Amino acid sequence: MSLLHRRGILTSLITLALTALSSEGQTTNQAWSTNAAGVIAVDVPRGGLVLASMPLEGFGQVANVSNTIGSQVPDGTAVWVWNLSNDSYSVTTRTNTWSTGDLALNRGIGFWFIATATNAWTTTSARVYLPGVLPLGTLSTTTVATIYTNDYVGYAFPHDQLFTNLTLVKQAVFGSKVILWNVAAQQYYGSYSRGVFGWPPSLSTMSVYAARGFIFSTTNAVSWTEVFPCDWF
């Protein structure tokens, strides 16, 4: 058994254990299920790009392209997953199946949907529902490490959040940037730079939307830790 295989099993076991513990205190009286789960929609336009991010945990295993996106996009669609450790993409393309279906979609990491405009598309866009488990309990604290230079990231929880509420933005140093992707215009927009006295006021009204990614640029390596502000479960 390879080391990677062992690590995969270990990761799955840890995920299972954490999932079981995620609703600690609520399972004792069995008033409700041990977890809550759901889906988050991402609309992928034919021939377009979407910068996304996975905000949910996998069901007892690591969320990956096959078990999360599956056949919800037409053949020819590619998924480019950003790798923080080496600043590069891992790519998988769908042709009946995904070429590298086990490519992980970890929370907090950005990835691109890159759609072609082939005849495989019968509609102008494909709605992709990303399924998963709500990150509660011990999973409610998530760290994305390490962010440096230009990285594609996303908010690790399944709801909209103001950029100015993100610890990543709060702790940013002078010269850091937030760059967004405009799906409708198919181009980058809104490059917000942190000045000497802070972020531009216009950023205070901007949100990172559920399951969407953005680019964060920084000159100092940072670890981004967020806590799910969930008091409704």
Candidate list 11, 12, 34, 93; residue touching another protein; CB under 8 A: 34
Candidate list 13, 14, 17, 33; residue touching another protein; CB under 8 A: 33
- Is 158 a binder of another protein (CB under 8 A)? yes
- Is 173 a binder of another protein (CB under 8 A)? no
Q: CB nearer to another protein: give 73 or 147.
A: 73
DSSP single-letter state for residue 149: E
Tell me the β-bridge partners of 93: 78
Residue 219's nearest CA partner among 168, 166, 177, 169 is 177
Candidate list 6, 7, 127, 170; residue touching another protein; CB under 8 A: 127
Cβ 124 to another protein shortest distance, Å: 13
Cβ 90 to another protein shortest distance, Å: 24
Within 207-226, the residues that bind another protein by CB under 8 A are 209-210
Q: CB nearer to another protein: give 35 or 106.
A: 35
Q: CB nearer to another protein: give 63 or 109.
A: 63
Give the number of other Cβ atoms within 10 Å of residue 46's Cβ: 18
Cβ 69 to another protein shortest distance, Å: 11
Residue 153's nearest CA partner among 126, 181, 184 is 181
- Is 31 a binder of another protein (CB under 8 A)? yes
- Is 101 a binder of another protein (CB under 8 A)? no
Candidate list 62, 129, 203, 225; residue touching another protein; CB under 8 A: 129
- Is 40 a binder of another protein (CB under 8 A)? yes
- Angstrom CA distances, 212 to 11, 108, 158, 231, stand at 25, 10, 10, 23
Rounded to whole angstroms, the Cα distance separating 124 from 129 reads 16
Residue 213's nearest CA partner among 151, 166, 169 is 151
Compute the radius of gyration of the chain from its Cα atoms. 18
Rounded to whole angstroms, the Cα distance separating 64 from 70 reads 9
- Angstrom CA distances, 115 to 74, 112, 119, 210, stand at 8, 9, 12, 20
Rounded to whole angstroms, the Cα distance separating 166 from 225 reads 9
Candidate list 9, 10, 32, 141; residue touching another protein; CB under 8 A: 32
Q: Which stretch binds another protein (CB under 8 A): 22-30, 44-52, 74-82, 177-185?
A: 22-30
Residues interacting with another protein, by CB under 8 A? Answer: 19-20, 27, 29-41, 59-60, 70, 72, 127, 129, 131-134, 158-161, 209-210, 229-232
